[in-house]
Amino acid sequence: MADVNKVVLAYSGGLDTSVILKWLQETYGCEVVTFTADLGQGEEVEPARAKAQKLGVKEIYIEDLREEFVRDFVFPMFRANAIYEGEYLLGTSIARPLIAKRLVEIANQTGADAVSHGATGKGNDQVRFELGAYALKPGIQVIAPWREWDLTSRERLLAYAEQHGIPIERHGHTSPYSMDANLLHISYEGGILEDPWAEAEESMWRWSVSPEQAPDAPTYVELTFACGDVVAIDGEAMSPAAVLAKLNALGGANGIGRLDIVENRYVGMKSRGCYETPGGTILMKAHRAIESITLDREAAHLKDELMPRYASLIYNGYWWSPERRMLQAMIDASQTSVNGVVRLKLYKGGISVAGRKSDDSLFDASIATFEDDAGAYDQKDAAGFIKLNALRLRIAAARGRKA
């Protein structure tokens, strides 16, 4: 076992991380610094202070990171239209690098030699936390209690808690699911979801009404983009976090953003997950729409071809890596012209684009028109275009090659 003097723990204030807090003190005989962040998960973070104090913690960090989260992580990711495996909007993945960064910064500030987290040994989050921590502070020690201890069942964990006087709250929203939430999404795993043939229960979902329960009339909304990011909703300028919060409210009310998938974890297994990403789902649709009129074709295609790789990097925990930064440089270089307004219709789980306009639009009605275009485009050029594009195919066919 490593020699540890002080460890910074990503602390939610809940039972599991409270047990970890105690276990770290007992097992490593080290001081624990707690770090609790408001990333928009929808729960108070301040109560974590008293809990930590009660467990003897002297250095307690409680921070509102919502703006930084959306501005520096969520928005850059949406510029890429990042979707993992065709469906997942990376809601959990994108929060981890920010937490890793703050853990390391606090370790530097407090002179801690280790960080710790409450992610299990089977999931992706351990990888994301730890790759980030190692990339930012290569000599850091990482303690992952779930990979080390013998509290491998809920019973043992509860027993340990009771033994050590850690209060076990039995509040209303106890859930059969393992959940994670931040301003971008809430996720559900475990329970009956472990059977991929079983449909998720309506009662599971928390952030959105069902499409069935959504209003019978559509909602229209206009998003204003600057350099690929939403800067105003219905004409009202807003901060990044305010944008996402507002879109979550709009999406949730209209039954938008539910997803039920089986995904491939970086650690090698498939897992079933359900997600609610109301605002992100709207954002994605809108961003593609504004890009559709402002982005050059080949720029857009280059982005599309590299998107799956970019998404995998984030999913796998490589936000803090040279390859992610290289891709981001490429993506951001394309977004200076992604400005304008998108009008969307939200209705019972669906989003449709009702309009897009931009001073930077590359859409030219005079060229695309079915009517006479006054010479803007010479149709005869198309003959040469086709002929030369066909040349290699014709030569091959003339040699008897099967097309």
Residues with a catalytic annotation lie at: 16, 96, 125, 178
Binding-site entries for ATP: 10-18, 37, 118
Q: Which residues within the stretch 58-97 sit at the binding site for a second copy (CB under 8 A)?
A: 81, 85-87
Q: 224 and 341 in contact (C-beta within 8 Å)?
A: yes
Q: Which residue's structure tokens are 């939610």?
A: 12
CA 76: distance to chain centroid? Answer: 11
- CA dist., res. 343 & res. 282, Å (int): 11
Q: Judged by CB under 8 A, does residue 2 bind a second copy?
A: no
Q: Judged by CB under 8 A, does residue 308 bind a second copy?
A: yes
Q: 225 and 361 in contact (C-beta within 8 Å)?
A: no
Name the strands in the sheet holding 6-10, side by side, starting at the edge strand that comes first in the sequence.
60-64, 31-38, 6-10, 114-116, 141-143
Q: Pick one of 25, 41, 110, 120: the residue that binds a second copy (CB under 8 A).
A: 120
CA distances for 117 relative to 69, 165, 214, 234, angstroms: 19, 21, 38, 40
Compute the least distance from the CB of residue 85 to a second copy, in Å. Answer: 6
Three-state SS at 285: helix
Q: Which residues within the stretch 256-275 sit at the binding site for a second copy (CB under 8 A)?
A: 258, 260-265, 267-272
Site string for a second copy, 212-241 (x = CB under 8 A): x---x-x-----------------------
Q: Which one of 14-22, 47-55, 64-72, 345-353 is the stretch in contact with a second copy (CB under 8 A)?
A: 345-353
Eight-state DSSP code of residue 386: H
Site string for a second copy, 173-212 (x = CB under 8 A): -----x----------xx---xxxxxx-----------xx
Q: Pick one of 49, 71, 164, 288: the residue that binds a second copy (CB under 8 A).
A: 288
Give the residue with the Cβ less far from a second copy, 163 or 389. Answer: 389
Compute the least distance from the CB of residue 315 to a second copy, in Å. Answer: 10
Count other Cβ atoms within 10 Å, centred on residue 359.
Answer: 9
Structure tokens given for 2: 């490593």
Compute the least distance from the CB of residue 259 to a second copy, in Å. Answer: 8
Q: How big is the chain by its Cα radius of gyration, in Å?
A: 25
Binding-site entries for L-aspartate: 120, 124-125
Give the residue with the Cβ less far from a second copy, 48 or 99. Answer: 99
Q: Which residues within the stretch 313-342 sit at the binding site for a second copy (CB under 8 A)?
A: 318, 320-323, 325-327, 329-334, 337
Q: Which residue's structure tokens are 């809920």?
A: 154
How far separated are the first and last CA of the chain, in Å rounded? 64
Number of residues that bind a second copy (CB under 8 A): 129
